[in-house]
Amino acid sequence: MIKAVFLDFDGTVFSHRSVSIPASTYEAVRLLRNSGIKVFLCTGRAPAEFKDFDLSEFILDGRILSNGQIIFDENDAIIFEKPIEGQLKDTIIDLFQEKRFPMYMVTKDDIYLNDINPIVLEVQDAVSSGIPPIKEYAGEEVYMASAFFNKQEDIDCIYELQDLAEITWWHAGAVDIVPKGISKAQGIDEVISRFGIDLSETLAIGDGENDVEMLKHCGIGVAMGNAWPSTKKAADYVTDDIDEDGLYNALKHFELI
Structural domains in the chain, CATH included, are 4-82+182-253 (3.40.50.1000), 86-179 (3.30.1240.10)
- pLDDT at position 151 is 86
Cα 70 to Cα 46, 122, 143, 228, distances in angstroms: 9, 27, 8, 25
- pLDDT at position 150 is 79
Residue pair 192/202 in contact by the 8 Å Cβ criterion = yes
- pLDDT at position 209 is 87
- pLDDT at position 52 is 82
- pLDDT at position 171 is 87
Residue pair 195/4 in contact by the 8 Å Cβ criterion = yes
- Residue 2, CB half-sphere, CA atoms under 13 Å: how many? 22
Cα 146 to Cα 114, 152, 203, distances in angstroms: 11, 16, 27
Q: What is the pLDDT along the chain (257 residues), one digit of tens a residue?
A: 999 999 999 999 999 999 999 999 999 999 999 999 999 999 999 999 998 888 989 999 999 999 999 999 999 999 999 999 999 999 999 999 999 999 999 999 999 999 999 999 999 999 999 898 999 999 999 999 999 997 899 899 999 999 999 998 888 899 999 999 888 999 999 999 999 999 999 999 999 988 999 999 999 999 999 999 999 999 999 999 999 999 999 999 999 99
Q: For residue 120, which amino acid is it? A: V
Whole-number Å distance between alpha carbons of 99 and 134: 11
- pLDDT at position 170 is 87
The separation between the first and the last C-alpha atoms of the chain, rounded to the nearest angstrom, is 13
Phi, psi of 145 (to 5 degrees): -130, 155
Tell whether the torsion through CA atoms of 139, 50, 74 and 223 is positive or negative.
Answer: negative
- pLDDT at position 25 is 98
